[in-house]
């Protein structure tokens, strides 16, 4: 089983990103998520205070109703 199949629904990535304003941080975070190979992602939270932006991005690996990796894997090895 690939590790991503064991993730129930989503992966959140939180960080503090050095940026002058939230728009810049948003672009950087989106670029980072794309570089990580995520395709279904969103920026959940941005707050610019001080030298940068507190940021949280989310990638959905299993949206409700989609085929669930964790369900299929258990079926294969289920008891």
Contacts of 70 (CB under 8 A, 6+ apart): 5, 6, 7, 8, 62
Q: Quick one: which of 15, 69, 77, 73 has its CA closest to 46?
A: 15
Q: Binder to another protein among 2, 3, 8, 50 (CB under 8 A)?
A: 8
Q: Give kind and range of the element (H or E) at residue 71.
A: helix 69-77
**Quick one: which segment of 22-30, 31-39, 59-67 binds another protein (CB under 8 A)?**
59-67
Residue 15 found at the interface with another protein (CB under 8 A): no
Give me the residues that bind another protein (CB under 8 A), please: 8-10, 12, 42, 44-45, 47, 54, 56, 58, 60, 62-65, 68, 70-72, 74-75, 78-79
């Amino acid at each position: 089983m690939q590790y991503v199949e064991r993730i129930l629904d989503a992966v959140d990535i939180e960080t503090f990103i050095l940026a002058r304003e939230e728009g810049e941080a948003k672009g950087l975070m989106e670029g980072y998520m794309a570089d990580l190979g995520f395709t279904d992602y969103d920026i959940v939270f941005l707050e610019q205070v001080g030298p940068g932006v507190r940021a949280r991005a989310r990638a959905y690996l299993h949206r409700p109703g989609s085929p669930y990796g964790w369900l299929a894997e258990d079926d294969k090895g289920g008891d």
